Amino acid sequence: MRLTAEQRGIARGEAGPLLAKYMNWLVAWGAAMGAERLVPVQSVHAILRTPTTRGCSPRTVDAYIAELRQVCAHRFRCLTTTQVAGAGSNYWKESGASPEEAAFEDELRVLARQAGFQLTRTCTPYLVGNAPLRGETCAWTESSAVVYANSVLGARTTRHGMESALAAALLGVTPAFGEMLDENRRAALQIDVRTRLASVADYGALGFYASAVAKSHLPVFTGIRRMRPEEAKQLCASLPYAESAISMFHAVGITPEAPDLRTACGGRAPRVREVFTPRSLRKVFREMTDLAPGEQVDTVILGCPFASLWEIQQIAEALGGRRTADDVQLWVATSYQTAMDAERLGYAESIRQSGGRLMYDACPGSAGILGARRVVTNSFKQAHHAATVLGSRAAVGSTEACLESARTGRWH
Amino acid sequence: MRPIRMVGKGLVRGQAEGEAVVSRVPLCFRTEYDPATGRVTGLRHPLHGHNLRGKVVIIPSTKGSCGNSVSFGTGCKEGNGPAALVCVRREPLAVLCCVVNNVPLICDVPEKIFAQVATGDRVAVDADVGVVRITRRLTPPAKKHRER
């Protein structure tokens, strides 16, 4: 990789050992990915939270926390928002978090002030002020937000991890490879959508299907007439999770770099073509459903990725004050900012009156939630988390179907 | 005659030898692997129940969460990390996992590696030159290993 004299100096340790370590990681990572240089970055979405170390030795936890303290002793170089916390700040006990974990999450607020990052604790930074425009260089973590930034916003980021995003925040640069370069933003696989996408969950199913057939191809969707941000969010959340880690898509007539099919494919015809039929849609739902019709449900999770204010309003109105079943926990996950708006507007109170809870800063599927054995959700990503992080059985349905399960305590 | 030597591109230097754990399905180290034990915990993953501690993990790529590298690193600190990683595709998070934790990594191996190496075979990885070698087979070559 070609480095400037200043970058070489930092790598040699002229700005201290911590920056040297992070610079060397960035360079080694970039070189392995085929990058030729480091480019200035305008927006970072970083992982700054307690580690996922439940069950690990205190030594590992302490080392992890000491590292983050050291990082935060430096000043961040650009707009940096942060990923979800290790537990919901208002319901951390329900997530099974320890008081020590909760205490470190508190300490992060102090560190944020010093280092200059915004402790947004969200998987949807684009809903709370970190919303780059077309062409902006970003270094984002959160697999669904990476897809959203590349595809819906037209910004440019690769799939970052904790170390590379922190490096970008500390150094103000990131290696240019993958979707950051024009030639890697061209679609090769056309997926013609020949079925009606009636709910947000249907968009999630389309994402799972595309992830399974895409391999390393970048997909372009045709046949979708319009898409709401909440629907795009589900599509983005599914794409990295089935069989390949997709970081970008085009949707002809909808996303900014796909005015037509040919342009989306870089002036060529797509190399491969697949058709998404009503049968393919049903197949994805069937494969991700572990619950039998009529089977008891103990947990309903909405807000993966974090619910927008519009979604929360709709959930509150759909519940309409009617109680959920006694043995069902209904969770709606969102960011602190959106939760505060929902409080002010009365949606949060309305959800509580129905027996539901608005969790902010984390979601049950990523942080853990006690007592979840049979989970219903409108998100395929959350269903994946249920079957992995939570170790529970799961089913995916529309938001309405989920609320119905919350009321009756059964999967339909 | 099946070859016992496969070539890819060594991206993080180093040598390792160990039992292979092989899957045609990509793995998410954040959601499907428990760093506290080294076990694959994803209920739907074909490797569910396998322990990756000290193993040579052969997969198409990592997938899913951007938390892959945190969880992978935690596993390494706990002594539960893989000895080496071998991937077909060059996924940014797989590369980051190995760069940060100094785990030998070979990418760009041909897809047919899944027909050639089976879980339980003993393999030697030399990421300095990008070569994976089978040193001892668990099953006779005639027996086809199948997942799912």
Could you state, in chain order, the average pLDDT of each consecutive group of 10 residues for chain A (412 residues)? Answer: 97 98 98 98 95 80 92 97 92 85 88 96 97 98 98 98 98 98 97 97 98 92 97 98 93 98 97 97 95 96 98 97 95 98 98 97 90 96 91 95 97 91
Is position A292 within any domain?
Answer: no
Q: How far is CA A381 from the centre of its chain?
A: 9
Is position B146 within any domain?
Answer: no
Start-to-end C-alpha separation, chain B: 26
Chain A residues closer than 8 Å to B28 by CB: 241, 388
B74 closest CB neighbour out of A28, A56, A163:
A56
Is position B36 within any domain?
Answer: yes
What is the CATH number for B114?
Answer: 3.50.30.10
pLDDT for position A156: 98
Question: Are B64 and A384 a contacting pair at CB < 8 A?
Answer: yes
Number of structural domains chain B divides into: 1
Is position A330 within any domain?
Answer: yes
Q: How far is CA B40 from the centre of its chain?
A: 12
pLDDT tops 80 at residue B146: no
Best mutation target among B96, B109, B148 (most A Cβ atoms within 10 Å) is: B96
Q: Are A72 and A115 in contact (CB under 8 A)?
A: yes
Query: Of A237, A254, A287, at which residue does a domain stop?
Result: A287
Q: How far is CA B120 from the centre of its chain?
A: 12
pLDDT for position A53: 65
Domain range spanning residue B32?
5-136
pLDDT for position B145: 53
Chain A residues closer than 8 Å to B42 by CB: 387-388
For residue A107, CA distances in Å to A52, A102, A113, A271, B65 come to 17, 9, 10, 51, 25
In angstroms, the separation between the Cα of residue B22 and the nearest Cα of chain A is: 15
Which pTM was predicted? 0.96
Same domain, A392 and A306: yes
pLDDT tier for residue B147 given thresholds of 50, 70 and 90: very low
List all residues of chain A from 69 to 128 with a beta carbon under 8 Å from chain B.
Answer: 83
Distance between CA atoms of A401 and A378, rounded to whole angstroms? Answer: 8
pLDDT for position B91: 96
Is position A294 within any domain?
Answer: no
Number of structural domains chain A divides into: 3
Asked if the C-beta of A313 comes within 8 angstroms of chain B's C-beta atoms, the answer is: no
pLDDT for position B1: 47
In angstroms, the separation between the Cα of residue A55 and the nearest Cα of chain B is: 6
Distance between CA atoms of A307 and B106, rounded to whole angstroms? Answer: 39
What 3-state DSSP class applies to B102?
Answer: coil
The answer to whether residue B65 is catalytic is yes
Is position A293 within any domain?
Answer: no
Asked if the C-beta of B43 comes within 8 angstroms of chain A's C-beta atoms, the answer is: yes
pLDDT tier for residue B148 given thresholds of 50, 70 and 90: very low
A103 backbone dihedrals φ, ψ, rounded to 5°: -65, -40
Domain range spanning residue A283?
186-287
Same domain, A319 and A370: yes
Segment B20-70, tens digit of pLDDT: 999 999 999 999 999 999 999 998 899 999 999 999 999 999 999 999 999
User: What ipTM score was computed for the predicted complex, to two decimals?
Assistant: 0.96
- Report how many Cβ contacts below 8 Å link chain A to chain B: 133
pLDDT for position B141: 53
Is position B145 within any domain?
Answer: no
Chain A residues closer than 8 Å to B78 by CB: 56-57, 60
Q: Which residues of A302-320 are buried (b: 16+ CB within 10 A; e: fewer)?
A: bbbbbbbbebbbbbbebbe
Asked if the C-beta of A25 comes within 8 angstroms of chain B's C-beta atoms, the answer is: yes
Asked if the C-beta of A336 comes within 8 angstroms of chain B's C-beta atoms, the answer is: no
A243 closest CB neighbour out of B25, B30, B77:
B25
Chain A residues closer than 8 Å to B64 by CB: 143, 240-241, 245, 384
Q: Are A249 and A217 in contact (CB under 8 A)?
A: no
